[in-house]
Amino acid sequence: MSDKLATQIEKIVRKAAGIEHGPVVLHEPFFNGNERQYVTDCIDTNWVSTVGKYVNLFEQLLSRVTGVKHCIATVNGTAALHICMILAGVQRDDEVLTQALTFVAAPNAISYCGAIPHFVDISPVSLGVCPDRLREYLQRIGEIREDSLFNRQTGRRIRSLLIMHTFGHPSHLDELKQICDEYKLILVEDAAEAIGSEYGRKHVGQHGLLSTLSFNGNKILTTGGGGAILTNDDEIARQARHLTTTGKVTHQWEYYHDCVAYNYRMPNLNAALGCAQLEKLSEVLTKKRLLASRYNSEFSKVDEITFFTEMPGVKSNYWLNAIILKKVSREQRNSLLDKLNDGGIMVRPAWNLSNTLPMYKSCPSDDLSVSLGIEESLINVPSSPSF
């Protein structure tokens, strides 16, 4: 079955990408605007580090695109998540609820604070935290006292819920925000993969106190490496900017730092690239959705595959298109991955579940049956905006 299915998938990918021969990469940058001009301007003016006009402009453009009041550009998305955990009040020995089907940066950012990731299951229609399963789980293990949520089983405070908009698909934000309000949790959105995605005609990243973006080289919009913290809270934004700039107090010439902080600000060179990328964002998002539509049309003809589509009421950026294999074992999936990659079709599985990684095996966890099923059956197919 895997040989026949691999041939079908390769034909669909090559047709959708418009590449008859040669490798079809998973997701490469799309440079067709002012990228070279803006980066060259940085070099010509010698403003290449964390101060410069492009950093400020990039943050302003991000605010305009997302509709979020404050955007603080960072060196990468992981750094942005770390600061968000700090500003959400996460402390040593707290627990933070998050999904196990996620990139390792999420549990790592929790761990940087000395806190413990607490894994919950996902929804099969969003690939984000399932609100129904979360509510049922908190009713079983949670206890509200001292105006905080505590885990009855461990005795630890549960401080925050860190959700993810997986592959650009928005999570069930209204329901999750309501649960957070009821259970005294700070909601943080990991929107690393979701620039341009909308929930109810509103850009994701505005239900939580804080949210993050990533601009790695494989994202829809890249700065080479970079991230951002988003918030509508003035004081939180001030603290985020301060903590990412080594805690330096603004002064014309004095180097005075008033707290232990981090060197997490985005350099001007990276921001220059990002400014040019933002100018083309609307075009890229259109290309991404057209590609997803072509994939959906073709994969719907293959009985063994379901193409993953956005749920009602949201608009996904379809960062990485995903197919779900029906009634296929992990071994068969792995064989399929080998055959496709050997044939030049660069596909990948989802991440290994975080609770299976050696440093997180002992962390608390709900039943993760949906997450496991998705991890074993999902394949990301080539999704470059240049297709």
Structure tokens at 29: 């940058």
pLDDT over threshold 80, residue 213: yes
Per-residue model confidence (pLDDT) at position 297: 98
Range 60-63 contact pairs with CB under 8 angstroms and sequence separation of 24 or more: 61/275, 61/278, 62/213, 62/228, 62/230, 62/278
**pLDDT tens across 110-141, in order?**
999 999 999 999 999 999 999 999 999 999 99
| 3-class DSSP assignment, residue 10 | helix
Decide: helix, strand or coil at residue 294: helix
Per-residue pLDDT for 1 more than 70?
no
CB atoms within 10 A of CB 94: 22
- What the block records as the tokens of 46 is 């010698």
Q: Mean pLDDT for the chain?
A: 97
Task: Tell me the CB-side half-sphere exposure of residue 285, using CA atoms within 13 A.
Answer: 17
> Given the DSSP bridges, would you call strands 116-120 and 95-99 parallel, antiparallel or unpaired?
parallel
Q: Are 190 and 354 in contact (CB under 8 A)?
A: no
The per-residue pLDDT for range 283-302, each reduced to its tens digit, is 999 999 999 999 999 999 99
Q: Find residue 323's DSSP bridge partners.
A: 307, 379
d(CA 162, CA 188): 5
**Range of lowest pLDDT (12-16, 24-28, 47-51, 122-126):** 47-51
Domains of the chain in sequence order: 2-30+281-355+364-380 (3.90.1150.10), 35-279 (3.40.640.10)
